[in-house]
Amino acid sequence: MSKQDLKKVLLMGKSGAGKTSMRSIIFANYVARDTTRLGATIDVEHSHVRFLGNLVLNLWDCGGQEAFMDSYFETQRDHIFRNVALLIYVFDIESADYAADVRYYKSCIEAIEQNSPHAKVFCLIHKMDLIADELREQALTERSDQVKSLCENVDVRCFGTSIWDETLYRAWSQIVYALIPNVQVLEKQIKQFAEVTCADEVVLFERATFLVIAHVSIKEHGDAHRFEKISNIVKQFKLSCGKVQSQFQSMEVRNSNFTAFVDQFTANTAVMIVQSDPIIQPSATALNIKLARAHFEDLIRHTAGVPQ
Amino acid sequence: FTMGKKPRVLLMGSRRAGKTSIFKTVFHKMSPHETLFLESTTMITRYDVSNSSFFQFSIWDFPCATEAEPAASDMESMLKGAAAIVYVVDAQDDLSESMPQLAKLVLKVQKHNPKILVHVFVHKHDGLSEDDKQEVYRSVSERLRSELQDESSSDFGVAYHLTSIYDYTVFEAVSRVVQNLVPHLSHLEGLLDALISKSRLDKAFLFDVVSKVYIATDSTPFDPQTYEVCSDMMDVVIDVSCIYGAGDDGDGQAYDTNSASVMRLTNGNVLFLREVSKYLALVCMMRQETADSLGLVNHNVDLFKSALKQLFEE
């Protein structure tokens, strides 16, 4: 029996920043509108999310109200900040009290440096939809630069996010990618699969969240944000199928220039294959997917389950 | 309505009821959240919608009546030239002002253009509980009827719809308004009935791909969930095609004559889409057994497509 790989992920930020909303959308099949129902998180909410079979994300959603935050840095410090694989700090771009945000953030980083020096740090600059379109990029760059300057000896990755578009999927795909051990091995194999199927592009998604785990592009493509867009598109459709008491199993979309197949792949993944060669028969692609399944089932189980 | 001129839809209602937001969300692909930034309409604004031969009309977006009441003679000629009226009522607002206004309008319509429908959109229901929604809906029709009774008239020629820009209801309601304006509608419905019967489909919709309004469906009972999942399926096809469908030189259309899709659901249902003209998509729901012989379905859709083309050319 393969060992379970447990990764502790801290989700921190001031009250109302959007931590629980994000978590609910990515892991609990909420649609953005459902999140208005969520109340304040009381102390720490723990959830275990099984990802790729043997990888288990142990999510600590830390309620951001002042009383809780203070206790995290005092009485609960060791308990919270030890053995952390990854810290996600959420900033609300429209926060009324940026100074308080900075204070808490610095305390977090300090506690992490002391207790889990190898933890990866991600900062999500959230609720970007509240900024007018034309001002968004600048606002994000400014805030990211500010955040990075606060703790210069820590490698922090910043992302702008919103629950109303695909940017949420981009950030969280990067987060889980950072947690999957040996993902490069998987990518090499996906590349071979892409070559065998004469695909322009092959993307591997985690089945429940539709976060992108790995992708290979044989043919160049202009849109760097297409992967998170696809995650968002397909995830929304998955939830829509729930309305007719069903799940979607597979899909094929085509026009004169391309064919895209999305199908369940292994027990924990789905795959998208994009082809533009008009000669390829859909049945050939379907057969290739079938034949590759067993091999990838094995590979993914070993990829995700072996601790570093 | 006069032949050769585009049918005219008047979009009216009380202040900040949501008239322009409805138009922008459905026809200009505006995200519902962005509509919060829209400024009040100050003059009658005309928008033309001409996505296909079946989907041509102009919408006249009115400012609030109390602020800029057009002259009586202008009003009369506008009503006479209209093919349909949409009156938007804010479901979260006090009805005591908007109902008398609406009643006055209905009386004018009954006088000057009795053949057209006044579609009352009971709008912004998204903020209300299920019970409250039904309550407001009932309240609007009751109050309108009682106002009209005072003038010894009835609400004949009035259709009521619960709408919100945050879900499908606004698209469904606009679909019903538009269907009354579609030329050869009964012929289209006949073609769809023939298609589903010959191909053993469960349901078929003819959607305008740009606005997601459906201009015709077959005569089997309408089920909102089926409509929603078909509309969502079309969204997926368009969105994925926008990413991958532009071709090597980037000049290709995302939605082109070979656009098609099949989506299999775990409960044995299969969703099917085919392009039938430049801006129209045929979206169907069928059982797995039917999907096993897609060749037959595709053949029948080809026939449907050419029948549609003939209708255009008439």
- CA A267, A262, A166, A144 dihedral sign is positive
A306 — pLDDT class (breaks 50, 70, 90): very low
DSSP-derived secondary structure for A42-81: PSEEEEEEEETTTEEEEEEEE--SHHHHHHHHTTTHHHHH
Identify whether the C-beta of residue B157 lies closer than 8 Å to the C-beta of residue B118: yes
Strands B280-287 vs B269-277: parallel, antiparallel or unpaired:
antiparallel
**Is the pLDDT score of A90 beyond 70?**
yes
The nearest alpha carbon in chain A to B37 belongs to: A132
Chain mean pLDDT for chain B = 86
* Residue A8 in this model has a pLDDT that exceeds 50: yes
- The string of pLDDT tens digits covering residues A214-244 is 999 988 888 889 999 999 999 999 988 987 7
A255 exposure class (CB count in 10 Å sphere: 0-12, 13-18, 19+)? buried
- Answer whether residue B103 shows pLDDT above 90: no
ipTM of the assembly? Answer: 0.84
Check: CB of residue A231 under 8 Å from CB of residue A172. Answer: no
Helix, coil or strand: residue A257: coil
Per-residue pLDDT reduced to its tens digit, A110-123: 889 888 888 999 99
| SS3 track for chain B | CCCCCCCEEEEEECCCCCHHHHHHHHHCCCCHHHHHHCCCCCCCEEEEEEEECCEEEEEEECCCCCCCCCCHHHHHHHHHCCCEEEEEEECCCCHHHHHHHHHHHHHHHHHHCCCCCEEEEEECHHHCCHHHHHHHHHHHHHHHHHHHHHCCCCCCCEEEEEECCCCCHHHHHHHHHHHCCCCCHHHHHHHHHHHHHHHCCCEEEEEECCCCCEEEECCCCCCHHHHHHHHHHHHHHHHHHHHHCCCCCCCCCCCCCCCEEEEEECCCEEEEEEEEECCEEEEEEEEHHHHCCHHHHHHHHHHHHHHHHHHHHC
Residue A136 and residue A131: Cα distance in Å, rounded? 6
Q: What is the pLDDT of residues A48-85, one digit of tens each?
A: 888 877 788 888 888 878 777 788 788 888 888 899 99
How far apart are the C-alpha atoms of A257 and A277, rounded to whole Å? 8
Q: Locate the chain B residue with the closest alpha carbon to A33.
A: B166
Query: Given pLDDT bands bounded at 50, 70 and 90, which one contains residue B227?
Result: very high
Show the tokens assigned to A292: 């590759």
Determine whether the interchain pair B263/A251 forms a contact, defined as Cβ–Cβ distance below 8 Å.
yes
**A255–B254 CB contact, under 8 Å:** yes
Cβ pair A244:B226 closer than 8 A: yes
CA distance linking residue A17 with residue B237, whole number of Å:
34
Best of A247, A257, A259, A289 to disrupt the B interface (most B CBs within 10 Å) is A257
Please give the DSSP secondary-structure letter assigned to residue A264: E
pLDDT at A301 > cutoff 80: no
Q: How many CB atoms lie within 10 A of CB B240?
A: 27
On whether the CB atoms of residues B174 and B210 are closer than 8 A, the answer is no
Contact B236 A253 (CB under 8 A): yes
Distance CA A7, CA A56 (A): 6
pLDDT of amino acid A281: 78
Strands (E), A84-194: 86-92, 120-126, 156-160
CA B146, chain centre distance (Å): 28
For residues A32 and A236, what is the distance between their CA atoms, to the nearest angstrom?
A: 10
Q: Tell me which residue in A234, A241, A260 faces B244 most closely, judged by beta carbons.
A: A260
Residue type, A118: H
Q: How many CB atoms lie within 10 A of CB B292?
A: 11
Q: Mark yes or no for CB contact A243/B229 under 8 Å.
A: yes
The neighbouring-strand residues paired with B284 are B204, B272
Assign B69 a pLDDT band (cuts: 50, 70, 90): low
Scanning A126-182, the segments in alpha helix (DSSP H) are 133-150, 167-179
CB–CB contact A253 B240 (8 Å):
yes
CB-nearest partner of B237 from A253, A256, A257: A253
pLDDT at A304: 64
What does the block give as tokens for A55? 């990888």
Nearest residue of A to residue B244, measured between CA atoms? A258
- pLDDT per residue as tens digits for the range A26-52: 988 888 878 877 888 888 888 888 887
Residue of B nearest to A248 (CA): B265
Between helix B95-112 and helix B130-150 the angle, nearest 10°, is: 50
The string of pLDDT tens digits covering residues B77-89 is 888 888 899 999 8
Kind of pairing between the strands at B214-217 and B203-208: antiparallel
CB contact under 8 A, A249 and B265: yes
Q: How many residues does chain A have?
A: 308
Judged against a pLDDT cut of 50, whether residue B3 lies above it is answered with no
Q: B218 vs A7, B123, B181, B285, B305, CA distance in Å?
A: 53, 27, 17, 12, 15
pLDDT in tens, B238-272: 999 999 988 777 677 888 889 999 999 998 999 99
